[in-house]
A and B are shown apart, each in its own frame.
Chain A
Amino acid sequence: MAKKILIVEKDTSTINSLTWFFSSLEYETIVTHKWPHSIAEDEIIAVFVNVELPGVQTEELLKSFAQDDHVQRIPLFFIFERSYAPRFLAAQPLPHAAQFKKPIRLNELLSVLKHHLHCEINLGRRYTDQQIIAEFKDFMSNFKEWLDKLEDFIRVNGEAS
């Protein structure tokens, strides 16, 4: 499964730049325009959030971080357009890994990502279907074992009765 990056942004150009950039690094992206109350996806490895968006309550966002162990480990990156915007200024003191002014320079983004995610440009995992077949076969043999046990259990109880 590809690792996922959550992008909380509304501006199409920034979304396109980021999604295609991450996709060329073999990451998947989830895009939303407001801060999601719970992050269900276990594979999320980083969050990019436009702190100027009205839908993003920075305080709530921080609470989510504090409440969830999993989310605490995820680096949070701020995106902003105007350095004097009140929402950005309010978010500034809050803990975050780095901040990017729009339009985002992708070479700067890459060096920051390398630092925080230790990523490198992955040229595509090859023959993943072969790996998936192996993964499915593993699942099948484990499930078969479970089914056999279940069958035995029903049979033993039937005999005892």
Chain B
Amino acid sequence: MKEWSIKLKKGTLRLTVLEDGTLLIASYEGQRIYKYELLKELKKNGIIGGYIDPCLELIVAGHKGEIPIARAFLEDEPPIFEYHFEKKYSRQELIHLLTHQKVPDVNFFPEVEAKMNLLSVKSPPHLIRIYPEGRRETVHEIDGYGLQYFKGNHVACNHESNSIYSEIEGTAHYSPFGRVHVFPPEKIKSVGKIHGEQNFKSAIWIEDDIRTGSTLNTVSNLYVGGLIRSSRVSAEGNITAAFSFENPRRNENSIASAGNSVFASAIRNYIVRSYRDIIVRNSIENSIIRNYHIIYAPIIRASEVRVGGKLFAHEIIDGCKLYLGLKFLKNSLATEVRKTHKEHEQGLSRLKGELIYLRKRLITLQENTAKHFAKIKGSQPAAIHGDVFLKKYYSSQVNGFKEFARKLADFEQLYKEYKREHYTLSYYKQQYEQNRPTEIIVTGKIEAGTTLHAPEQTIQFKADQSHVAIILDDITGKIKIEPLQH
């Protein structure tokens, strides 16, 4: 047992750690404290998770005496995959490329052959125990959290269930929830407003441009050999613009969104959203960028960039606004799944209640039938056969049983969906929300006038800075600026 007191401006918070950090007890004495102040103090004191929210609310409401406020919890750690159709770069490699004015050699329209191994499991899924102070312990490997949850279109699992291979020839991508898909490519000369809204169920390879005013959606990857001009494009996989995204008339509908990555020579006056990487050969100018993973752009000029992962740039100039942290990224995809997941959880609880009630009713009917048996025991067979009560009991039980079986089937079906959502959400959390220090790496200069927004701090540079790493401290929500280590 460990006990300590924290002197706050408005009072004293006493903390007791029980059972090797599994349970944290608190009591507060003093003037009214707000929840954000309480959380800030807890985080400052190394209690970073496992909060029992209603108890924190009770302290805020003036609870007297001790109350548990955080405890260790169990969580599924999804498998770690190696995708064989993408090239990964480390932080150091990207800094090296940026310093030497080179561009990562990426292919966001990867062609795969039938039977090609697309994904292998590097580490199997585990059940882990997470303590309020952040310590993680592996409890055991999880059975049944298999690759079936990550199998998309035109792919299959191998017999050992440790890899996914392609069933057809095509181009591969994976979704933000880790599902791997392969789609055959379709070649098109160019796309224009005249074609209307185009929704493709295949990967798209456009030889020339996407012309102004077009709308194009694809379930797979999109490759554009020319320019993407003032159009709305979305791909569940990657988007490659061999030249650039251009929007000279600043048309508001010029939005590109990718479930995975984006590559372009330049992005100008565009809104670009991507879950994975945005790799730009030359510059991002007057644009709005939202990204959860890696942004690589030698020059960023007069743009708003929301960074959920890492931003690598050589120069950041002309009054850019940079937002660090997931707080500034609205995520409709995960939000939607989380909402459905919550609804399914409520549905499961409702069905469970109904099943318990039905079971109770069936047991009562069974008991009543047994009592009735005792009454009619020794009667003539004809009397038993014609007994109205016995028939009534029998038919009520048959109907009740059918209802029970139907509800149980619904419960099982809903549980399957609930589990699938649970696993995809854990993958999403691991990939995009956990253990990922958010930072901006500048190998050249970041100009005076650039504004940095962090959850708990806003800074505007008064003078140029060069060779810096700007790191977001997840616990305090503030920014640290350090010289860049090569």
On A, residues with C-beta under 8 Å from B are 13-14, 16-17, 20-21, 24, 102-107, 110, 120-121, 123-124, 126, 129-130, 132-133, 136-137, 139-140, 143-144, 146-147, 150-151, 153-154, 156-158, 160-161
Contacts and interface: CB of A to CB of B under 8 A. Distances in A.
Contact of A129 (B64, B73, B348, B405): B348
Central interface residue in B22, B66, B380, by most chain A CB within 10 Å: B66
Which 8 A-B pairs rank lowest in CB-CB distance, beginning with the nearest?
A161-B382, A160-B381, A103-B65, A158-B385, A157-B384, A157-B381, A161-B381, A157-B385
A150 B394 contact: yes
Contacts of B74: 123-124, 126
A139 B381 CA distance: 30
B432 interface: no
B362 interface: yes
B18 A137 contact: no
Given A24-B52, A103-B64, A154-B390, A129 B384 contact: no
Contact of B411 (A123, A133, A154): A133
Interface stretch (B149-157, B287-295, B396-404, B460-468): B396-404
Contacts of B411: 129, 133, 136
Interface residue tally of chain B, by bracket? Answer: 35 or more
B355 A107 contact: no
B356 to A, nearest CB: 9
A21 B68 contact: yes
A62 B396 CA distance: 44
B366 A123 contact: no
Nearest to B422: A127
B430 interface: no
Given A17-B65, A21-B68, A150-B394, A129 B415 contact: yes
Given A107-B18, A151-B394, A160-B382, 11 more contacts: A21-B68, A103-B65, A120-B19, A121-B23, A132-B352, A136-B411, A139-B359, A140-B404, A154-B390, A160-B381, A161-B380
B376 to A, nearest CB: 10
Interface of B: 1, 16, 18-19, 22-23, 25, 27, 52, 54-55, 58, 63-68, 71-74, 127, 129, 348, 352, 355, 359, 362, 366, 369, 380-382, 384-386, 390-391, 394, 397-398, 401, 404-405, 408, 411-412, 415, 418
B408 A161 contact: no
Contacts of A102: 65
Contacts of B54: 20
A64 to B, nearest CB: 26
